[in-house]
């Protein structure tokens, strides 16, 4: 179970605390078990500093605390604080990564005929970058038309393999599987089952997807369809 530790302190030297964090990150490379760390300053009181550190588990956090680098940096941290730091230890019971869920919905739902995600999640000026297309696809209506064209040619789905989120961007690795049921690029329906792998990066802005970048094996797809030699 993911474990989160919240460390709070008050200090007149926030820059020195940042320096200590830089030192710990450098010195604990390859040994620390923390996966994510954030430091924030209270807007109402800049002396109030909050550090949030995430670990894969409580046991991993305890191993991290036992590192000599962690112990040394912590003692230096205490010396910078006006009072002893306080700790809040949390077992994570819910983790809603909303951008990742939105990206998953955009990939999975429209091929099944549910186009609501396009209208709800794409920005009016959304731009879709796909090197297999002659030009970018701009706007939800154009995306809808493109997907409907694919649905006429293929009965297809996206199988999500993994997702990684970083700030306002989500990368999704997927496998596309489809049965060729209609004309595609001049080739009549063959009934063949096609499979290819790819990745999509979506950039979000104020809850909407503003841009998408696609990287997928279009050559492999055409080879499976017999449009190119193996």
**Which of 3.30.1330.10, 3.40.50.150, 3.50.50.60, 3.10.450.50 would CATH assign to domain 98-225?**
3.10.450.50
List, for residues 40-64, the tens digit of each pLDDT value: 999 999 999 999 999 999 999 999 9
Residue limits of CATH 3.10.450.50 in the chain: 98-225
Residues constituting the chain:
230
Of the two residues 173 and 96, the one the predictor is more confident about is 173
What does the pLDDT average to over 179-196?
A: 92
Of the two residues 2 and 228, the one the predictor is more confident about is 2
Q: What is the mean pLDDT of the chain?
A: 93
Residue limits of CATH 3.30.70.100 in the chain: 3-91
Confidence of residue 227 (pLDDT cuts 50, 70, 90): confident
Let me know: does 11 contact 47? Beta carbons within 8 Å: yes
Confidence of residue 164 (pLDDT cuts 50, 70, 90): very high
What does the pLDDT average to over 28-37?
A: 92
Angle at 136 between CA 167 and CA 202, to 5 degrees: 15
Question: For the CA atoms of the chain, what is the radius of gyration?
Answer: 24
List, for residues 86-113, the tens digit of each pLDDT value: 999 999 998 889 999 999 999 999 998 9
Q: How many CB atoms lie within 10 A of CB 211?
A: 17
List, for residues 14-23, the tens digit of each pLDDT value: 999 899 889 9
- Specify the pTM: 0.82
Confidence of residue 1 (pLDDT cuts 50, 70, 90): confident
Q: Which of 44-53, 83-92, 146-155, 217-226 has the lowest mean pLDDT?
A: 217-226
* The predicted structure's pLDDT at residue 7: 95
Let me know: does 208 contact 122? Beta carbons within 8 Å: yes
Helix axes 68-80 and 58-65, enclosed angle (nearest 10): 80
* The predicted structure's pLDDT at residue 3: 96
Distance (Å, rounded) from C-alpha 228 to C-alpha 215? 19
* The predicted structure's pLDDT at residue 202: 98
Provide CATH code, domain 3-91.
3.30.70.100
What are residue 200's phi and psi, to 5 degrees?
A: -125, 135
What does the pLDDT average to over 149-153?
A: 93
């Amino acid at each position: 179970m993911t474990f989160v530790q919240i460390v709070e302190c008050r200090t007149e030297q926030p820059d020195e605390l940042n320096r200590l964090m830089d030192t710990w990150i450098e010195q604990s490379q390859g040994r620390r078990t923390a996966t994510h760390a954030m430091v924030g300053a209270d807007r109402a009181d800049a002396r109030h500093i909050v550090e949030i550190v995430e670990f894969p588990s409580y046991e991993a956090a305890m191993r991290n605390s036992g590192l000599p680098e962690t112990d040394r940096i912590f003692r230096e941290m205490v010396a910078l604080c006006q009072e002893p730091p306080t700790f809040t230890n949390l077992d994570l019971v819910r983790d809603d990564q909303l951008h990742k869920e939105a990206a998953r919905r955009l990939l999975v739902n429209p091929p099944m005929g549910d186009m609501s995600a396009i209208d709800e999640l794409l920005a009016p000026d959304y731009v879709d970058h796909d090197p297999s297309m002659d030009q970018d696809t701009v706007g939800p209506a154009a995306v809808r038309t493109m997907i409907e064209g694919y649905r006429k040619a293929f009965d297809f789905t996206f199988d999500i393999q993994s997702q990684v989120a970083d700030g306002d961007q989500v990368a999704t690795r997927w496998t596309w599987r489809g049965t060729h049921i209609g004309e595609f690029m001049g080739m009549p329906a063959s009934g063949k089952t096609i499979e290819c792998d790819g990745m999509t990066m979506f950039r979000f802005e104020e809850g909407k997807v503003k841009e998408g970048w696609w990287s997928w094996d279009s050559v492999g797809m055409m080879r499976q369809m017999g449009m190119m030699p193996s």
